[in-house]
Copies of this chain bind each other. A is one copy, B any other.
């Protein structure tokens, strides 16, 4: 109800504002193409395509740009709707729009799908990865696709921005893997990035995160349908991918959320989990069903490549994180979530300490709640005033 009301108010505001090119809540997915892209690891990928969308209007000076970078299981749909009848708007609609903290009356907000996006078959996602047809063989790359890193995500975004004549970013704002991209942007292209807002993020994958990412990926390799990644055209490793997605979902949450949503409720009130091995608790059943549904629009190899990109991440890709962050000039607003178990506040804090030591202005606003990592997406409105003020400075 409140969300509907919010959108109605937004619609009115925009009808008054007028210009057809301005963000009016109806979003169009576009495709950016590169004849070839050479990864930082030195491998060339032909015919790279990524999807992108934007909200608001690019000004004549082309200096009102905010780049929004997406999370592991997300895509570039950060705000608005593709059609009035869409069930839900983009994931950060609470903070992106006319008059909102990331104000589309003022800013040109742009977001792109990453390379190896999790959902290459999703109708509104455009990506290039192992599920893509290799033009040299006419068959999907599979595990022959080159390793890509967060830096490669950034370089493709940079090419997209340059194709639009954009040379300066007012800010890069992203949650989770999007925060990793924000740090990487600031480290790789310091002269171009004025501000970063890493939400529920960190500047480096530490050993514990590397280990957990491996745990996420393991079920895929265990699925006999995975076949070393050459499953295209045959039965796909849906069960392994669903297990992987289930782990991600739980890892992105917290105990308070689970208690409120499920408690010790049974999946079926007639089937006591104590009565038979196959009788289950509600949380198990719900997570499995959600993961299986999600697995059907996702790709197992893309999942593995995303895991690799995240494991490899160390902002600036230097010998040490301190060295990798040395070039950063961007004013920084860190937004961790208090109950985050995946990229907990200590990871933001570690990055912040290095940046501060370098003389970079760093502010921190912590999202409170019991929702875990996902509070950085679902409870982002809490940080709205801080984001608005930060972008105005």
Contacts and interface: CB of A to CB of B under 8 A. Distances in A.
A276 B223 CA distance: 21
Interface stretch (A18-26, A71-79, A203-211): A203-211
A287 B211 contact: yes
Number of copies: 2
A239 B222 contact: yes
Interface stretch (A83-91, A131-139, A182-190, A243-251): A243-251
A165 interface: no
A290 to B, nearest CB: 12
Nearest to A309: B274
Interface stretch (A53-61, A191-199, A252-260, A375-383): A252-260
Contacts of A224: 224
Interface residues of A, number: 57
A222 B215 CA distance: 14
A263 interface: yes
Interface in A271-298: 273-277, 280-284, 287-288
A269 interface: no
Given A211-B287, A218-B243, A147 B277 contact: yes
Contacts of A4: none
A289 B18 CA distance: 63
B274 A147 contact: yes
Given A243-B222, A255-B346, A314-B264, A210 B281 contact: yes
A304 B281 contact: no
A222 B276 CA distance: 19
Contacts of A204: 264
A210 B218 CA distance: 20
Contacts of A147: 274-277
Contacts of A208: 250, 253-255, 257-259, 283
Which 8 pairs from chain A and chain B are nearest by CB? A207-B258, A208-B258, A208-B255, A207-B262, A214-B284, A211-B283, A207-B283, A218-B243
Given A208-B250, A214-B281, A277-B305, 19 more contacts: A41-B274, A41-B275, A147-B276, A204-B264, A206-B258, A206-B259, A207-B258, A207-B264, A207-B281, A208-B257, A210-B281, A211-B283, A214-B280, A215-B246, A219-B243, A222-B223, A224-B224, A273-B311, A277-B304
